[in-house]
Amino acid sequence: MAARAAAARLGGFGTSIFTEITALAVKHGAANLGQGFPDFAAPAFIKEAAARHIDEDRNQYAPSAGVPRLRAALAAGWQRRYGQVVDPGSEVTVACGATELLLDAMLGLVDPGDEVIVFEPTYDAYVPDIQMAGGVARPVALRLPGWRWDSAELAAAFTPRTRAVIINTPHNPTGKVFSVAELEELARLCIAHDVTVISDEVYSELIFDGARHVPIATLPGMRERTITIDSMGKTFSVTGWKVGWAIAPPPLTDAVRATHQFVTFTNSAPFQEALADALTAPFTRSETDNYYHQLRAAYGARRAQLTAILESIGLPPLPMAGAYFLLSDVSRLGFASDLDFCRFLTAEVGVAAIPISPFYSSAAQASSPARAPMLARFCFAKREETIVLAGERLRKWRNFRSPLPSAEEG
Ligand SMILES: Cc1ncc(COP(=O)(O)O)c(C=O)c1O
């Protein structure tokens, strides 16, 4: 008899959609607008800093909570951006990307049977993290137009078992930037029910059209109940470096650190040092004409380029204000599911995109299209050539098909 391989706790995880589509993209040489990573070079200043720190032999274990000068720079950055004083000694923890900190937070907070509210569509790691901690995910739908929650539904999701809420703003995959009014509504419920918030803000610097990123921790009464998680991956175009951080009051920081010390203990010292250099460099500290402005300008141009392509093939993207994804409605193209469409697009057209149904629990996918609409996600964190190549292939494909039915027809 074969040995039992995996714990029951892992039941139903399967292979992530990103792994499947990336493998298919490689196999078919597709222009990869699927997985969310930049395919362009990282800024020279940060690569030079990392190389220098390796060369200077900062190659041994960093302190478990993170390199002190990095924690100091993160605390100073938070204060500069949001006016809140954070103690780098007891309120900042550095770990192996936001991914690890999400799990650390969950393992540190959740007891078996505790409930954790997530918003659907949901970034793919949240529900497995909750499950690994023995908790139960309580999905609350974000619905079009505007990806709004229903206030009654949200209020009803809070029960005596609710331990935490995970919010992600700017939001993957929708690009929604939650408004202050929405965050205040959520904050009122969390305070009333004494619930902790885990706020995933890895796209905090990628904001468009004058939208404002507001960390929920900055609202009255929320600092003491929020773990804010961010990462250098998106901001400095180095998703493979895996340096993330959590900012939280001492009791919540203790919970995160207690698990972090036994999950990875620490992550790469030279990359932490390089991030500290980047955060303290003059061009990231000045308020105008700095690195972040240039980053947003470059992303704005890529977004315009991909929007024009999607519009030209009859798949205009939905409005978005943050992160680096565009969503197009693919429900009228004759495919049985968004997954079928994305597999076809990757293998036959040579353009990889991600279906959004895997961002929903299976119950929601089955229940109604209003809850899990049929959308494909296109990532625009790509070189101009990649987007141009994708455009050529998409336009060629659309020319070979009969025109889309008009709005009146369906
Ligand atoms: C919403 C969200 N959270 C977390 C992560 C993971 O961040 P990291 O690469 O720092 O682990 C991602 C990566 O795509 C993401 O989109």
Whether 99 is in the pocket of ligand 1, judged by its Cβ within 6 Å, is yes
> How many beta carbons lie within 10 A of that of residue 275, not counting itself?
29
**pLDDT (mean) for 387-402:** 88
Whether 239 is in the pocket of ligand 1, judged by its Cβ within 6 Å, is yes
Q: At what angle do helices 384-399 and 291-312 cross, to 10 degrees?
A: 10
Helices (H), 110-179: 126-132, 151-157
**pLDDT (mean) for 143-161:** 97
pLDDT bin (cut points 50, 70, 90) of residue 361 is: confident
What tokens were used for 100?
């690890």
pLDDT value at residue 406: 46
pLDDT value at residue 257: 98
Predicted confidence (pLDDT) per residue in 366-384, tens digit: 555 556 899 999 999 999 9
What tokens were used for 90?
């007891």
Position 196, amino acid: T
pLDDT value at residue 188: 98
Residues 60 and 269 sit within 8 Å (Cβ to Cβ) = yes
Residues 166 and 118 sit within 8 Å (Cβ to Cβ) = yes
Position 329, amino acid: D
Residue to mutate, 122, 202, 204, 205, ligand 1, most ligand atoms under 8 Å from C-beta: 202
Name the residue with the closest Cα to ligand 1, atom 7.
98
pLDDT value at residue 407: 43
Ligand 1 mean position, distance from CA 33 (Å): 16
- Rg, Å, the chain Cα set: 21
pLDDT bin (cut points 50, 70, 90) of residue 11 is: confident
**pLDDT (mean) for 342-358:** 96
- Read off the DSSP letter of residue 246: E
Nearest to 94 by CA among 279, 221, 285: 279
Residues 278 and 236 sit within 8 Å (Cβ to Cβ) = yes
Residue to mutate, 201, 231, 243, 271, ligand 1, most ligand atoms under 8 Å from C-beta: 231
Position 304, amino acid: A
Name the residue with the closest Cα to ligand 1, atom 14.
36
pLDDT bin (cut points 50, 70, 90) of residue 410 is: very low
Q: Decide: helix, strand or coil at residue 410.
A: coil
| Residue 9 scores a pLDDT above 90 | no
Separation CA 21–CA 35 (nearest Å) = 8
Separation CA 71–CA 89 (nearest Å) = 8
**pLDDT (mean) for 384-390:** 97
* Contacting residues for 150 by C-beta, under 8 A, at least 6 apart: 140, 141, 143
Residues 261 and 63 sit within 8 Å (Cβ to Cβ) = no
> Out of 13-17, 60-64, 149-153, which region has the weakest mean confidence (pLDDT)?
13-17
| Residue 284 scores a pLDDT above 70 | yes
Position 218, amino acid: T
Name the residue with the closest Cα to ligand 1, atom 1.
172
pLDDT value at residue 408: 40
Ligand 1 mean position, distance from CA 200 (Å): 8
Block residue for tokens 């969310």: 36
Separation CA 193–CA 159 (nearest Å) = 8
Residues 109 and 164 sit within 8 Å (Cβ to Cβ) = yes
What tokens were used for 159?
């029960």
* Contacting residues for 165 by C-beta, under 8 A, at least 6 apart: 116, 117, 118, 186, 190, 195, 196, 197, 198
Whether 231 is in the pocket of ligand 1, judged by its Cβ within 6 Å, is yes
Beta bridge partners of 197: 165, 226
% of the chain with per-residue pLDDT over 70 = 93
| Residue 409 scores a pLDDT above 50 | no
How big is the CA angle at 94 (ends 91 and 100), to the nearest 5 degrees? 115
What tokens were used for 92?
């900042």
Residues 369 and 48 sit within 8 Å (Cβ to Cβ) = no
Whether 235 is in the pocket of ligand 1, judged by its Cβ within 6 Å, is no
Nearest to 171 by CA among 209, 210, 140, 199: 199
Task: Supply the mean pLDDT for the chain.
Answer: 93
pLDDT value at residue 219: 98
CA-123 nearest atom, ligand 1: 1
pLDDT bin (cut points 50, 70, 90) of residue 401 is: low
Residues 335 and 347 sit within 8 Å (Cβ to Cβ) = no
Q: Which tops the pLDDT comparison, 46 or 366?
A: 46
**pLDDT (mean) for 343-367:** 86
pLDDT value at residue 363: 57
Residues 342 and 353 sit within 8 Å (Cβ to Cβ) = yes
**pLDDT (mean) for 123-132:** 94
Predicted confidence (pLDDT) per residue in 306-317, tens digit: 999 999 999 999
Output the CA–CA distances (angstroms, integers) from residue 149 to 86, 182, 358, in the order listed.
31, 9, 19
pTM to 2 decimal places: 0.95
Residue to mutate, 19, 123, 275, ligand 1, most ligand atoms under 8 Å from C-beta: 123
| Residue 362 scores a pLDDT above 80 | no
Whether 228 is in the pocket of ligand 1, judged by its Cβ within 6 Å, is no
> Out of 67-76, 103-112, 357-366, which region has the weakest mean confidence (pLDDT)?
357-366
Helices (H), 29-67: 44-55
Whether 245 is in the pocket of ligand 1, judged by its Cβ within 6 Å, is no
